[in-house]
C-alpha cells in the first residue's frame, strides 16, 4: 500500500473516531437532568397537559405542583427560560426538592425552555455541564448548561427578521427561538409560541395569582440585579425589593416597558388582570 493510500485510510479512520466521539458528546445534552421531587411535591405534570400539541416534542417539560393543606393563592415559578442562566434553574430546583407549602399552591417549571437544554454555545466558551459540589474532592451533581434559545439544529431555519405576535415588533431572526420573546403564545404559531401558549393555558387552568420568571444577565448589562414588574404589580415589587435591600441584597426595581413586547411579565400581566407578574435578573459573569 502506498503512503498516499495509508494517509487516506488513516484520515478516514481518524475522522470516523472524531465524529463518533462528538456525536456521543452531543447526545449527552439530550439526557434529562435528574430532578428529585421533595416532600412538598404533591403532583408531577407536564406542559403538554395544558397544550397537548407539545406531547412528544422538545417543547414538553416537567411541571411540579406543591400544595398546602390550607387554601390560598397560586404562585408560578419559571426557571430555565434561558438555559445558560443557571441561577433561575437552580432556584427552581431547590424549591422542587426542598420546599413545603402551608397555604395555597406553588407550581414550579424548572426547565421551561426544554429545547434550550439540548444545545449550548461552545464558541462563547460556555461549558456543556456544571457541577454543584457535594464532596470535598469537588464531585457532586452534574447538570446541563444549555443555551439562551431553543436548539438551532432542531428549529432551523431562522428568518432574517422575527416578527413578534401579536404586536408585530421586529427582532433579529434568532429570537424566533427565544421563549421570552414569544409570549403570550398561540397554538398555531412558531415552536416557542406553542411552548408559551402552554404557559398561557396553565394560567387559565390553574388561575395563577402571581408569577416570577427567573433570569440572569452579564455584569455589563444595564438591567441586572433587578426585579422587573408588570406596571400593575409595581407596588408589590417595590415592597419585595425593599425587603431584600433591608437584608443587604442590592436588588433594584424596574417596570416592564410597554415598548418591549413578548416578555412573560408584560404579556401575561396584560392578558390576566388579576395577575402579579415579575421577572428577576441576577448577575452571571459567564
Q: Grid coordinates standing for 139?
A: 464531585
pLDDT (tens digit, 9 = 90+) per residue, 58-76? 999 999 999 999 999 999 9
Phi, psi of 62 (to 5 degrees): -75, 145
Among 12-26, 107-121, 155-169, 201-215, the range scoring the smallest mean pLDDT is 12-26
Beta carbons within 10 angstroms of residue 55's beta carbon: 12
Predicted local confidence at residue 221, as pLDDT: 83
Q: Is the pLDDT of residue 286 over 80?
A: no
Average pLDDT estimate for 173-179: 97
Predicted local confidence at residue 28, as pLDDT: 84
Q: Looking at 139-273, list the stretches that DSSP marks H as alpha helix, in order from N- to C-terminal side.
A: 152-155, 191-206, 234-246, 264-271
What is the residue-averaged pLDDT of the chain?
A: 94
pLDDT grade for 26, boundaries at 50, 70 and 90: confident
pLDDT grade for 23, boundaries at 50, 70 and 90: confident
Q: What is the pTM of this model?
A: 0.93
Q: Is the pLDDT of residue 259 over 80?
A: yes
Rounded distance between C-alpha atoms, residue 220 and residue 224, angstroms: 8
Predicted local confidence at residue 1, as pLDDT: 60
Tell me the DSSP string of 44-112: EEEGGGT-GGGTTSTT--EEEEEE-SEEEEEEEEE--SSTT-HHHHHHHHHHHHH---SEEEEEEETTS
Is pLDDT larger for residue 20 or for residue 95?
Answer: 95
Average pLDDT estimate for 21-38: 89
Rounded distance between C-alpha atoms, residue 207 and residue 273, angstroms: 11
Average pLDDT estimate for 171-186: 98
Predicted local confidence at residue 150, as pLDDT: 95
pLDDT grade for 93, boundaries at 50, 70 and 90: very high
Q: Grid coordinates standing for 281?
A: 435578573
Predicted local confidence at residue 61, as pLDDT: 98
Cα 220 to Cα 61, 82, 86, 102, 286: the distances in Å are 32, 18, 18, 40, 11
Amino acid at each position: 500500500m502506498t503512503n498516499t493510500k495509508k494517509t487516506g485510510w488513516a484520515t478516514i479512520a481518524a475522522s470516523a473516531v472524531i465524529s463518533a466521539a462528538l456525536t456521543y458528546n452531543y447526545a449527552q445534552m439530550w439526557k434529562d437532568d435528574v430532578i428529585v421531587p421533595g416532600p412538598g411535591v404533591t403532583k408531577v405534570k407536564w406542559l403538554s397537559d395544558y397544550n397537548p400539541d407539545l406531547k412528544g416534542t422538545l417543547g414538553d417539560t416537567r411541571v411540579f405542583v406543591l400544595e398546602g393543606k390550607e387554601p390560598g393563592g397560586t404562585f408560578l415559578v419559571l426557571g430555565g427560560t434561558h438555559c445558560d442562566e443557571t441561577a433561575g434553574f437552580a432556584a427552581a430546583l431547590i424549591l422542587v426538592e426542598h420546599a413545603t407549602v402551608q397555604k395555597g399552591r406553588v407550581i414550579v417549571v424548572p426547565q421551561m425552555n426544554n429545547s434550550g437544554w439540548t444545545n449550548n454555545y461552545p464558541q462563547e466558551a460556555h461549558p456543556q455541564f456544571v457541577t454543584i459540589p457535594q464532596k470535598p474532592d469537588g464531585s457532586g451533581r452534574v447538570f446541563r448548561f444549555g443555551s439562551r434559545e431553543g436548539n438551532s439544529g432542531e428549529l432551523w431555519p431562522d428568518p432574517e427578521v422575527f416578527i413578534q405576535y401579536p404586536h408585530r415588533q421586529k427582532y433579529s431572526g434568532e429570537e424566533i427561538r427565544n421563549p421570552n420573546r414569544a409570549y403570550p403564545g398561540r397554538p398555531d404559531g412558531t415552536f416557542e409560541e406553542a411552548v408559551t401558549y402552554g404557559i398561557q393555558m396553565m394560567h387559565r387552568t390553574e388561575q395563577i395569582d402571581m408569577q416570577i420568571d427567573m433570569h440572569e444577565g452579564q455584569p455589563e448589562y444595564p438591567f441586572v440585579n433587578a426585579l422587573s414588574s408588570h406596571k400593575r404589580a409595581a407596588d408589590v415589587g417595590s415592597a419585595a425589593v425593599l425587603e431584600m435591600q433591608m437584608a443587604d441584597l442590592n436588588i433594584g426595581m424596574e417596570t416592564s416597558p410597554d415598548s418591549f413586547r413578548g416578555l412573560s411579565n408584560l404579556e401575561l400581566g396584560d392578558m390576566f388582570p388579576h395577575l402579579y407578574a415579575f421577572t428577576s435578573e441576577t448577575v452571571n459573569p459567564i
